[in-house]
Structure 1
Amino acid sequence: MPESHGKKVLVLGGYGLIGETIVGRLQRDGHQVTGLGRDVRDAERRWPAVRWIAADIAQLLAAEDWLPVVAGMDAVVNAAGALQDGPRDRLDAIHRAAVTAVVAACEQAGISRFVQISAIGADPAAADAFFRTKAQGDEAVAASSLEWTILRPGLVIAPAAYGGTALLRALAAFPGFVPAVMARQPIQTVAVSDVAEAVSRAVAGSLPPRISVDLVEAEARSLAEVLAAFRAWLGLPAARIVPMPAFFGRIAAVVADGLGLLGWRSPLRSAALAALARGVTGNAKSWSEISDHKLQPLEATLAAMPAHVQERWFARLWLLKPIVFGVLSLFWLVSGIVGFIRHDAAADILVAHGLSPAFALGMVLAGSAADIAVGAAVLVRAFARLALLGMIAITLFYLGAATVFTPDLWLDPLGAMVKAVPALCLALVALAILDER
């Protein structure tokens, strides 16, 4: 095995689905690892022995930007990526421009070894921006003077789950049956540990230099078979896979793309469906021809990470998450709008309990405005946490004020006050499941 223990390695996207496993593997190999990403607070907690750099790759678009970052490194691993353009992601910057810049910086700094995590299906002529920009980044790497390795994994399966692998878990846990768009499309998976193994060998210099290789299990299987395997892994009874009409997928993609503009990174976006439509398959022989390490089939990958109750909780809650946020938004928006429309009637209730007409009207209008504000803000990912905290605070204020000024409302036969308690609980649930990774 490697003669290269003790290298200084920079991992771009070091806390992502693939990057985090690479960081852990390189640490176990004895390397000094530095991770880079936009928000490294959680990464610092999980991997305190790793040096972390907080930086947005999409802002580092010139070699000069990268020179201070790569200084002193022996190797660079690029595990950064995004699925689709959005408020937080610019594909051309992340996949092409930044890669071109960091490669140039490595050449200038004398760093010879570079490992690029690409994607099955990357093609400079692709209509989809994800595959096109990924291929353009690969071209920049391949055109360099570095000792590069380009790895193209299939569908990566990891103990962590967000994006497409989270969706697989959620669909597999669907009650009664398993819905699937394009259920027959072929897929080849790869264990994230096998991706990390390939990176480890590339960093160590035990793979042939300047080579592109697919990382996929030997045999392709249909999406329906993948979902059935995940359902069995979750410990749920077998259920029928129900192929869904293609227009369901198109509708979901339109909605998900809209949510993407609000900052939510749904794996149902059009880029993901485009990837599925073309099939997630590669050349399994390209790896076996250069390495004696056999890539695991899906069954072995799942067996190596047994599912416990938290996996079932996650899978069942994942599809409920947009429903929870949608219901909360609708509840607060309608509450605020009705408050504005019926402000006189609402103010009369407060006046009947001893408040002055002007003060009562002011409270109703202010409360309605606050309701609408948090109902709208919770739909925007950047404001969602603050909006949920606002919902909790406003509800507690309503309940406290009503108890002091209008305690008889607790006995209202329509349960106006009592019904605020489930809304409070739903906001707490939304806050608990807000994090994406």
Structure 2
Amino acid sequence: MNILILGATGFIGSAVAARLLEDGHVITGLGRNPGRARFRQPGIRWISANLDKMTDAADWATVLEGQQIVVNSAGALQDGLSDDLAATQERAMIALQGAARMAGLKLIIQISARTDGAGRDRPFLATKRAADLALAASGIPYVILRPALVLGRNAHGGTALLRSLAAFPLVLPFVHADSPVETVAVEDVAAGVSAAISGTLPSGSDIELAAEERHSLASLVKLHRAWLGLPDAPVISLPSILARPVTWLADMAGHLGWRSPLRSTAITVMSEGISIDRATPSGLPTLSARATLAANPSGVQDLWFARLYLLKPLVISGLSVFWLLSGLIPLLALEKTSAHFLPFMPEAAATALTLATCLIDIALGAAVLLRPLAQRALLGMLAVSFTYLAGASLLEPALWLDPLGPLVKVLPSILLTLTALATLDER
């Protein structure tokens, strides 16, 4: 069958695409930035599109042409510079349903979430619930799958946070350490989609997916710690009030385009835990968390990822502070700073050049905080750093011997910038 997968570049979507390709289907993947995915999964026809711009049925006409089934694995945690949940998770999906009726689509499979409990009124779950209800009332054949916390070989969002907490040095600090968490392997979610397409799951099914076992958040992190090959560490339970500064900072980062799993929506949901209603068993086989991890042994690259994950925001913010201060501090003593250039140019030109370099530093320090501009800002930092080093080495080489090391100190900044570039990609 011809199948369109929304969010095909994501953690779940890429696993679903791989499974359906294996089943022999013809797959079209829709993603916001599918550039790298074209190389990872060349057997898929890729479409670059932004769901929050597809909120009218007419926007879907070309995309649905020739398609028989749509699998929606797209989604986001919280509104921010890069995400509009009402548009992406609700209006675009309702528009899709309208277009699907006109296109004669055979089936829509919605990968959703349990939308009651803690956080039910937050946009993440409220928009999913609205899309689910609209789908159930649309008259289109459908299956809704509601996975618990999804685990897999790759890591994104909550799974990535589990690994980073597991790699925390010496102790394991937690808020809501005893909250119950149920899991499901990403391969089992993909198998559920495959079962829906084959007809094993009848149209109108609304199924929650989770393994039989239930963990606490602390025990699940300890399980990941052992998987990473690290010795056990004591758990420190922290009062929830201590999480507020962290979630506030994470929410602010979201408004700048960064998708942190520590945002307030995730913490609110975790306050009650992630569990499913077993009153309606799925009948689908599911791997336990332990079996999922055992089937995917970790390597040193997983340990690197886990240790770098929480360092990444510190690296970005540290670079921002460094460049902002590099631009602001000389402005406080502009005449003294511009004196370095006086042997080589007139005073007016020296002042103008100093002012220009300060403004460039400030602009780069601010731009790196904006996720859409971060890569260009980091490349700009490298270019400016090497320009500063080359210019100073030619005009005033004695600065290399300065005991305060104004040039030597640029070298660690360059290495930190290269580290930020190496870890910038999110998927």
2:56 is the counterpart of 1:62 = yes
2:254 is the counterpart of 1:260 = yes
Among residues 78, 82, 89, which one is paired with 2:83 in the alignment?
Answer: 89
Counterpart for residue 198 of structure 2: 204
Among residues 404, 410, 413, which one is paired with 1:420 in the alignment?
Answer: 410
Alignment of 1:17-416 (within 5 A): 17-122=11-116, 126-284=120-278, 286-288=280-282, 291=283, 293-351=284-342, 353-416=343-406
Query: Structure 1, residues 255-292: CA drift from partner, whole Å, max 9, x if none?
Result: 1111111111111111111111121000346344xx3x
Shift of 1:111: 1.4
Paired residue secondary structure (1:207): coil
Shift of 1:123: 7.4
Q: Structure 2 counterpart of 1:385, which letter?
A: Q
Q: TM-score, normalised by structure 2?
A: 0.97
Query: Structure 1, residues 11-53: CA drift from partner, whole Å, max 9, x if none?
Result: 1111111111000000000000111122211221211110111
Matches of 1:402 and 1:109, distance apart in 2: 65
Paired residue secondary structure (1:286): coil
Matches of 1:376 and 1:184, distance apart in 2: 39
Matches of 2:239 and 2:132, distance apart in 1: 35
Q: Is the 8 A contact 2:82 2:258 kept in 1?
A: no
Matches of 2:57 and 2:358, distance apart in 1: 52
Query: Structure 1, residues 386-427: CA drift from partner, whole Å, max 9, x if none?
Result: 111111111111111111111111101111111111111111
Q: Is the 8 A contact 1:170 1:318 kept in 2?
A: yes
Query: Structure 1, residues 53-96: CA drift from partner, whole Å, max 9, x if none?
Result: 11111221222221221122221111111111112211111122
Q: Is the 8 A contact 1:124 1:136 kept in 2?
A: no
Q: Structure 2 counterpart of 1:37, which letter?
A: G
Paired residue secondary structure (1:230): helix
Q: Is the 8 A contact 1:122 1:134 kept in 2?
A: no
Matches of 1:129 and 1:272, distance apart in 2: 12
Shift of 1:141: 1.2
Paired residue secondary structure (2:9): coil
Q: Is the 8 A contact 1:147 1:209 kept in 2?
A: yes
Query: Structure 1, residues 81-125: CA drift from partner, whole Å, max 9, x if none?
Result: 111111221111112211112122222221121111010235799
Query: Structure 1, residues 230-264: CA drift from partner, whole Å, max 9, x if none?
Result: 10011111111211221122211111111111111
Mark the CA change 1:285 to 1:24 in structure 2 (over 3 Å): closer, same or farther.
farther
Matches of 2:119 and 2:179, distance apart in 1: 22
Q: Structure 2 counterpart of 1:366, which letter?
A: A
Matches of 2:168 and 2:117, distance apart in 1: 34
Matches of 2:244 and 2:363, distance apart in 1: 31
Q: Structure 2 counterpart of 1:209, which letter?
A: S
Matches of 1:375 and 1:65, distance apart in 2: 38
Q: Is the 8 A contact 1:123 1:135 kept in 2?
A: no
Q: Structure 1 counterpart of 2:287, which letter?
A: Q
Shift of 1:174: 0.6
Mark the CA change 1:127 to 1:55 in structure 2 (over 3 Å): closer, same or farther.
same
Matches of 2:323 and 2:307, distance apart in 1: 25
Matches of 1:319 and 1:83, distance apart in 2: 18
Greater mean deviation of Cα atoms: 123-132 or 65-74? 123-132
Paired residue secondary structure (2:36): helix
Structure 2 residue runs without a partner (length 5+): none
Matches of 2:133 and 2:176, distance apart in 1: 31
Counterpart for residue 3 of structure 1: none
Matches of 2:344 and 2:372, distance apart in 1: 41
Q: TM-score, normalised by structure 1?
A: 0.95
Shift of 1:126: 2.7
% identical equivalent positions: 45
Greater mean deviation of Cα atoms: 52-61 or 118-127? 118-127
Q: Structure 1 counterpart of 2:110, which letter?
A: Q
Matches of 1:411 and 1:330, distance apart in 2: 26
Q: Structure 2 counterpart of 1:421, which letter?
A: L
Say what the alpha-carbon RMSD is for the aligned residues: 1.5
Q: Structure 2 counterpart of 1:411, which letter?
A: L
Mark the CA change 1:122 to 1:91 in structure 2 (over 3 Å): closer, same or farther.
farther
